[in-house]
Structure 1
């Protein structure tokens, strides 16, 4: 049984500030160790429940954060950025029975979620999805990284069985992903503060929950939305919208909003990556 683990950093126990998440930051080395240990805990839980293959995809920033020496020697690791499938790279390396999202955080615009952002925090204010065939005045569904990534997996029939992070992201996951198991390792107070459990306790709970999630896989269902999907981006400045409008197929909605109609969930992700990367070129 193949399990794909997508591991981020902002949602790990103890992490509350950008200084902990950026290479060169004063607490980065400690935080990346916590991240590596949480990824390993999820992998160990998967092996405990009968997984025969576990692929861990480093999904934070430059995607070169995991400390290999902190990981079980049975795991495979995907590292390095500019991946076609970004945070769910590895799903095409055989059909995963399930995916785990570990260390995930709230999406851009979510109140009381540590370091909330969606793919590119300096650019994106909010992303919403709605059926392209729906009413024009439908505001759409607010989405975070977990929802976008789950849609790509769900389109391929892969369910998200485990989500760990702060209480905000796990609450949204419980509402959206049928049968998902969650572990909240901290309760966010503001964007830069939280009440966290100890990293050792976080790893203990994650390992137990990973095993539980895999053993209960029969109750889990893939997360899907009917295509085509209209993706609406609220960007933080007009300059970012100016740049995003250069992407073929992008429609300008107003000063700071653009949209794109994607025929598949995978193309939703490609649009998010393309628009945020090109808009990011004008960040000053």
Structure 2
């Protein structure tokens, strides 16, 4: 069995604002490693631990250089780390058909969700709203769609209460096992649960997932051709992006591109948001 874990920052317990990754580096990194450690605990406690051959961890926040290779490998000898940027499928780099299941850790709500800590989609500076085939998407659903193209289910998500509302209450991905890392009080405030409870909840959720029938889980699929539309924060960003071949500007702030699969979508998101960010 191969497990893929994509690790973001904004949905982690112990973190409420972006400045913490620059001004509170030790506590920021400790929060990320703690969440991973609790997932590994669940894997090791599960009945299928002996069949797990590889645990791939994708450092999926910012520049992708937040996690310590040494510290991760000390947790479990089966861990491999995807780090740095730019890279193809940034948050999901190196995922392929050989994996059995995907976990998303430290994920957050998409833009505009009320009472959601640090809500955004891929680029908080550039993206106001992201849609695929006319449907509102967040990072969890977009990355789950890429995993779906490979035939791999997303089975567990750990994130804030805002993301839980989107995935579970709004039924964007109601089948996932969801671990609530914090109760979001505003964009930059949250209530964290007792760490012991979160540690136990995470390990228990991982065990339930791994001891279930993974092949019975739904795959998040989108129909091709895929229409990717991004509503940017400014008209200058849309003007910059619209210079790219195949990109059509459909309003003052919105641009659209047609893709043939989720690989193209993920690459387009990285390239387009990166270009928009310099406008």
> What is the TM-score of this pair, normalised by structure 1?
0.90
2:177 paired residue number:
181
Query: What is the alpha-carbon distance in structure 2 between the residues aligned to residue 254 and residue 275 of structure 1?
Result: 16
1:151 paired residue number:
145
Query: What is the alpha-carbon distance in structure 2 between the residues aligned to residue 105 and residue 124 of structure 1?
Result: 15
Query: What is the alpha-carbon distance in structure 1 between the residues aligned to residue 98 and residue 174 of structure 2?
Result: 19
Structural RMSD (CA): 1.5
8 A Cα contact 1:123 1:276, kept in partner: yes
**Runs of 4 or more above 3 Å deviation:** 198-201
1:167 to 161, 181, 196: 161
Aligned residues: 269
Task: State the shift of 1:178 in Å.
Answer: 5.5
Do structure 1's residue 34 and structure 2's residue 31 form an aligned pair?
A: yes
Task: State the shift of 1:218 in Å.
Answer: 4.3
User: For residues 180-231 of structure 1, what are the alpha-carbon distances to aligned partners after superposition, in whole Å with 9 as ceiling and x for unaligned?
Assistant: 1110111111101111113443233212211111112244221111111111
> What is the TM-score of this pair, normalised by structure 2?
0.91
Task: State the shift of 1:67 in Å.
Answer: 2.7
Query: What is the alpha-carbon distance in structure 2 between the residues aligned to residue 178 and residue 110 of structure 1?
Result: 17
Give the alignment of 1:1-284 within 5 angstroms: 1-21=1-21, 25-49=22-46, 50=48, 51-71=52-72, 72-74=75-77, 75-92=79-96, 95-130=98-133, 140-174=134-168, 175-177=171-173, 179-216=175-212, 217-282=214-279
In structure 1, the gaps of 5 or more residues are 131-139
Query: What is the alpha-carbon distance in structure 2 between the residues aligned to residue 34 and residue 70 of structure 1?
Result: 13
CA pair 199-63 structure 1, distance change in 2 beyond 3 A: farther
CA pair 194-31 structure 1, distance change in 2 beyond 3 A: same
8 A Cα contact 1:46 1:54, kept in partner: no
8 A Cα contact 2:104 2:156, kept in partner: yes
SS in 1 for 2:23: coil
8 A Cα contact 1:106 1:168, kept in partner: yes
